[in-house]
């Protein structure tokens, strides 16, 4: 990686960044919301656009000197429209949470009602958790996953909506391994006169590649983050029909943000360009095939998966049936020791706490970027199982760690020669 100026002027930060490159190279990133962007995206994000204020939108800025900022933002918008087929796109939200905030601010009044999935069942803080602004400004009720099936209980959601009379229903999730029935939720939203916000933060790339059904053109608003399965620069995005374009744009700026992070918008533009190439289709398909291979092998080992498998990029393991005395945090820590980085996660019907829950969540976007196929993911499942089964056994953890070292050597990531990721 290029860091000659940083190394000369600030070795402390340079060392930390080198450490992070090494950490990413030498471990398996299986946090389902993470991925590895190309060096082209890194260059765009690390560009001089970080210096530029560009409040407003292309052609209508509050400051001068925005001609190149305009070019970059227009490229990002046009590519996003092509990727997701949306009529209107706002690429300025700083993150997925801010994208959701933009929709709420545009369409709701304080005290209005949100119906969303409970965080412990796979929702998101910004869908109305009491610790988040959305839970403080709006009246929130939450629906749940059917603990028997692990799927969204669409009938219960419908009944809940009729009872609660929400102003907006939020779909799209952070720890849900199954395809979402956007149309079914839209029918419920229509029946109760609510807006429908589909948050595709996790599955933006899968939706863009058509390997997950799209809520664009179904839900009133679609939000997402741009650095997960879509593998672009870090941030958020809002998509909607033209009729809501002005409301959304005004809510994002000046409603809740000032100057857009134009360097990140450049990273979004570059990543979207990569995702428009045919190779991205293969990547998205492989991400899902890898998750399914991982899921099948974990189940062969006797681990229980919420919903019994996956349709997307992640699996959610409920440790309680197979390992009732092993909390998720212990497994997360032992796996990290072995070089497999994922997160402990709540599961539907959680009986422990959010800090030390009963499950672990694992995703394949990062592994797929570095070239893992189904066979390699089956082996990763074997390694995960070994640690789940003996998180306190140092010899097992060391053995798995040795194999992770071999795998990370076999599937290199960011190179010292700065050639970077080549997406084939």
**Where do contacts with ligand DSN occur on this chain (CB under 6 A)?**
33, 96, 124, 174
Nearer to ligand DSN (CB atom), residue 219 or residue 344 = 344
Locate 53 and state its tokens.
Answer: 């204020």
Nearer to ligand DSN (CB atom), residue 100 or residue 358 = 100
Nearest to 383 by CA among 364, 407, 350: 407
Q: How many CB atoms lie under 10 A from the CB of residue 135?
A: 19
Closest distance of CB 96 from ligand DSN, Å:
6
Nearer to ligand DSN (CB atom), residue 124 or residue 297 = 124
Nearer to ligand DSN (CB atom), residue 72 or residue 367 = 367
Q: Which residues contact 58 (CB under 8 A, 6 or more apart)?
A: 66, 69, 70, 73, 74, 77
Closest distance of CB 33 from ligand DSN, Å:
3
87 touches 219 (CB < 8 A)? no
Closest distance of CB 60 from ligand DSN, Å:
30
Locate 98 and state its tokens.
Answer: 């801010």
User: DSSP labels for 5-43?
Assistant: HHHHH-HHHHHHHHHHHHHHHHSEE--TT-----HHHHH
Find the residue with minimal CB distance to ligand DSN.
33
Nearer to ligand DSN (CB atom), residue 173 or residue 221 = 173
Closest distance of CB 222 from ligand DSN, Å:
16
Alpha-carbon gap, residue 38 to 26, rounded angstroms = 17
Nearer to ligand DSN (CB atom), residue 188 or residue 264 = 264
Nearest to 99 by CA among 267, 252, 264, 247: 252
Alpha-carbon gap, residue 377 to 314, rounded angstroms = 12
């Amino acid at each position: 990686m290029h860091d000659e100026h940083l190394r000369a002027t600030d070795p402390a930060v340079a060392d930390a960044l080198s450490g992070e490159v090494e950490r990413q190279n030498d471990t398996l990133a299986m946090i389902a919301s993470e991925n590895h962007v190309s060096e082209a995206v890194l260059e765009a994000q690390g560009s001089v656009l970080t210096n530029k204020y560009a409040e407003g939108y292309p052609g209508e800025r509050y400051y001068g000197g925005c001609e190149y900022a305009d070019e970059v933002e227009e490229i990002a918008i046009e590519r996003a429209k092509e990727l997701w087929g949306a009529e209107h796109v706002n690429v300025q939200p700083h993150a997925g949470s801010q994208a959701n905030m933009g929709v709420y601010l545009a369409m709701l009044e304080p005290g209005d009602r949100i119906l969303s999935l409970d965080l412990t069942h796979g929702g998101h803080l910004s869908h109305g958790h009491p610790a988040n602004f959305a839970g403080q400004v709006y009246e929130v009720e939450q629906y749940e996953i059917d603990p028997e099936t692990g799927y969204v209980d669409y009938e219960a959601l419908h009944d809940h909506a009729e009872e609660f009379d929400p102003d907006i229903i939020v779909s799209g999730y952070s720890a849900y391994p199954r395809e979402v029935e956007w149309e079914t939720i839209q029918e419920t939203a229509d029946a109760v006169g609510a807006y429908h916000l589909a948050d595709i933060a996790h599955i933006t790339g899968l939706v863009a590649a058509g390997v997950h059904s799209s809520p664009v053109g179904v839900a009133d608003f679609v939000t997402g983050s741009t650095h997960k399965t879509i593998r672009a620069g870090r941030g958020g995005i809002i998509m909607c029909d033209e009729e809501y374009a002005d409301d959304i744009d005004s809510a994002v700026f000046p409603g809740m943000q000032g100057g857009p992070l134009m360097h990140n918008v450049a990273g979004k533009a570059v990543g979207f360009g990569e995702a428009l190439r045919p190779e991205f289709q293969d990547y998205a398909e492989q991400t899902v095939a890898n998750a399914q291979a991982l899921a099948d092998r974990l189940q062969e080992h006797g681990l229980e998966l919420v919903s019994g498998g996956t349709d997307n990029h992640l699996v959610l393991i409920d440790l309680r049936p197979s390992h009732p005395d092993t909390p998720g945090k212990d497994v997360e820590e032992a796996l990290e020791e072995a070089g497999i980085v994922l997160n402990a996660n709540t599961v539907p019907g959680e009986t422990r706490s959010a800090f030390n829950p009963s499950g672990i969540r694992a995703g394949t976007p990062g592994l797929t970027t570095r070239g893992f196929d189904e066979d390699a993911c089956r082996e990763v499942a074997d390694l995960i199982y070994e640690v789940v089964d003996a998180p306190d056994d140092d010899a097992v953890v060391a053995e798995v760690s040795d194999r992770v070292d071999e795998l990370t050597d076999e599937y290199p990531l960011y190179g010292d020669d700065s050639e970077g990721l080549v997406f084939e």
